[in-house]
Each structure stands twice: as C-alpha cells, then as structure tokens.
C-alpha cells in the first residue's frame, strides 16, 4: 500500500474517533447512549471540516481526477476507497428541518444512502438503514454517526432482492422507529458490460431485482404506514435520460424509477404523500469500483462533467433533505438533478 493510500484511512479513523471516543470504543461499549455520544460529538466541530454554509469553490473543494486505479469485489466498502468518499461526516450541520421524523434508507451503509442517513439524523430524524451483510463494517460507522447526533439508529441488514425480506424490512423499521415518515429507495446495482452479449440473464435479473423490484416491494409494504406529510424519495440517475453504451440494464432500471416516481406522485397526491426522485451524475461511491465502471475508467471518473470531477455523496444530501422536508410541500413527481452540470430534461 502506498503512503497516499494510507493517509486518508488514518484521517477517517481520527474523524470517527472524535465522534465517539474511537470507533472501536463506540461499538463495544453499549452503555454509551445516544445522548452521551451527542455530547462527545459536540466537542469536535472546531476541528472538523468547514460546514456546508461556508462559501467554497465547487471546482476545487473535493478531489479531482486522476484517481488511483482500484477495484473491489461487489458490493464493496467505502472505507477501502482511495480517496475516501465524503458523506458529510464532519461537514454536514443540521437545523432541525426533520425533527421527530422517522426514515428508512436502503443502501444506507455507504455512498448516497449514507450521506442521506447522516443528514437526516443531523436534521432531527431517527433513521433505519438497510444494507447487505457484507457491508456491515461501513454500516456500523453510519449507526455510530446517527447516534452521535442524538437520534435513534437502526441497522437492518439483508438482501432486498427477496420480496419476503423487503416486507420484513419495512415491518422491522416501523416497529423499531415507532412509525415511518420518510422512505428513501436508494440501494442499487450497477455492472458495466461492453456488449449486450456480455450481460447474462443472472446479471439482468439481479439489476432489476435490486433497482426496480425492491423499490416496488418496499414502497408497497410502506404505504399502509405512511400518512399525510410523508415523503418517498427514489434514487434515479442521469442514465435514465442519457444512457451509457456499457450500462444497458442499469440505465433501463433508472428509467423505470423515473416513471414509477411520476406515476406514484399522481396516485398518492390525494393522500398528501409526496413522491420525488434524485438523479445523480457520476458520484464517487463503491458502486463505481465494484464493476460499475470499467477498471481503466476509474482514474478519470467524473472528468467529463463540466465541473471536471466526480461528485461526492455529501453533495447529494441537501437534495434528499429538501425533498423530505415540509419546505418542499408543493413538490411531487419531480426529478432533482445533481450531476456537475450535465444536461438533463
């Protein structure tokens, strides 16, 4: 491992240590209640990264290509990426916009889901996250961060490609949180293939089960628990509008998500439930280094955008917070693009 690779991981350990007297201590000391962790976290803002309110140049505030060549076995871990993705661990500051809300976020261990979960907690929501068992180490970090914000964090591992598990996931989230106000269908699978011939039926099925079927199953299970003022947010992609040649199956699922979002927005508007989507551009997450991009494309990932870089997960968090909050009470059936300047309908 190079010195460059070691440096950001040391930084992550220092950051998490400040949030809870060290990650190991936080995870092995059950007597550390959320209120105690919140008090410990309160001591760290002066040494943390500048809050999002600080004016900064969006071209230079986050890492730019080239990135080191790297690959991980699916589903991958954010903690092993170089550079480490920024999910807002030290920068996101809440202002009570979601106080008392109860949220379920799929794919909440890393990437966009992690950024949304952290932001929701710092805005006052209790948060349950779903993830695959292989992502446990990343998920434990997120739960610690949620609890350090003084909110309830619930870990619900399992594979959403199973309808039975999706039904159980919602039931468990409702039971543990005491209700449900915000649902974020975010978990996704992306596997690039240079030719349609290379896409197996197994891959096609897994992509649709993860990205489309799970959204259908989870939303259907959640509907009986949602009341007026609730919000559903689905993670789409710019691939729904401008599909890449090597992401045929993935792009199809994202187009499905946009259509589902618009249909459900019309169906649920009479109940006072809003349904919107976020369509990210290239975002630095484990999705990319586990086969989502061709290995030789990783060093220049995001360079083709007008901003010349990939986005960081924390840059998506405000979109999810806004769409979940009462501030967006007249917004439903919308697709919010966060893509570094790429065109979007």
Residue 15 domain-assigned? no
Residue 219 domain-assigned? yes
320 tagged catalytic: no
d(CA 169, CA 69): 36
DSSP string, 286-342: HHIIIIIS-GGGGGGTTTTSTTSSPBPGGGTHHHHHHHHSGGGTT--S-EEEESTT-
Taking only the tens place, the pLDDT of each residue in 63-103 is: 999 999 999 999 999 999 999 999 999 999 999 999 999 99
Residue 63 domain-assigned? no
Phi-psi region of 344 (alpha: psi -120 to 50; beta: other; left: phi over 0): beta
Residue 169 domain-assigned? yes
Residue 13 domain-assigned? no
**What is the total count of domains within the chain?**
1
Segments of the chain with pLDDT less than 70: 1-53, 345
Please give the pLDDT value at position 50: 60
The residues with which 104 forms a beta bridge, in sequence order, are 128, 183
d(CA 178, CA 152): 11
Q: Which domain holds residue 297?
A: 85-338
Q: What is the CATH number of the domain that holds 193?
A: 3.40.50.720
Residue 215 domain-assigned? yes
Please give the pLDDT value at position 23: 35
Residues 6+ apart with CB under 8 A from 121: 94, 127, 145, 146, 149, 151, 153
Measured in degrees and rounded to the nearest 5, phi and psi for residue 311 equal -80, 160
Q: Which of 92, 213, 241, 250 is catalytic?
A: 250
Residue 19 domain-assigned? no
Residue 131 domain-assigned? yes
Residues 6+ apart with CB under 8 A from 283: 111, 112, 310, 311, 312, 313, 315, 316
Please give the pLDDT value at position 43: 37
């Amino acid at each position: 491992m190079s010195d460059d690779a070691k440096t950001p991981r040391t930084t992550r350990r220092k950051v998490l240590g400040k949030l809870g007297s060290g990650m190991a201590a936080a995870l092995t000391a059950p007597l550390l209640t959320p209120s105690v962790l919140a008090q410990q976290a309160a001591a760290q803002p002066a040494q943390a990264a500048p809050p999002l309110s600080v004016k900064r140049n969006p071209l230079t505030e986050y890492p730019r290509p080239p990135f080191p060549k790297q690959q991980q076995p699916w589903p991958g871990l954010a903690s092993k990426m170089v550079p480490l993705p920024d999910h807002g661990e030290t920068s996101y500051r809440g202002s009570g916009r979601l106080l008392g809300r109860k949220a379920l976020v799929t794919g909440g261990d890393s990437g966009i889901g992690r950024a949304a979960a952290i932001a929701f907690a710092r805005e006052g929501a209790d948060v349950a996250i779903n993830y695959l068992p292989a992502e446990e180490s990343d998920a434990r970090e997120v739960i610690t961060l949620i609890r350090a914000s003084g909110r309830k964090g619930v870990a619900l591992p399992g594979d959403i490609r199973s309808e039975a598990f999706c039904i159980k996931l919602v039931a468990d989230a409702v039971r543990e949180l005491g209700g449900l106000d915000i649902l974020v269908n975010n978990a996704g699978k992306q596997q690039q293939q240079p030719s349609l011939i290379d896409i197996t039926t197994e891959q096609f099925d897994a992509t649709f089960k993860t990205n489309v079927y799970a959204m259908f199953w989870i939303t259907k299970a959640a509907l009986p628990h949602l009341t007026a003022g609730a919000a559903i947010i689905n993670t789409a992609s710019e691939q729904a509008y401008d599909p890449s040649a090597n992401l045929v199956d993935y792009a199809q699922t994202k187009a499905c998500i946009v259509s589902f979002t618009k249909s459900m927005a019309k169906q649920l508007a009479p109940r006072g439930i809003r349904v919107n989507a976020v369509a990210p551009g290239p975002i630095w997450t484990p999705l990319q280094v586990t086969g989502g991009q061709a290995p030789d494309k990783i060093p220049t990932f995001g360079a083709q955008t007008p901003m010349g870089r990939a986005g960081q997960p924390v840059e998506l968090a405000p979109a999810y917070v806004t769409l979940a909050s009462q501030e967006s009470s007249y917004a439903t059936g919308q697709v919010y693009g966060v893509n570094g300047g790429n065109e979007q309908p």
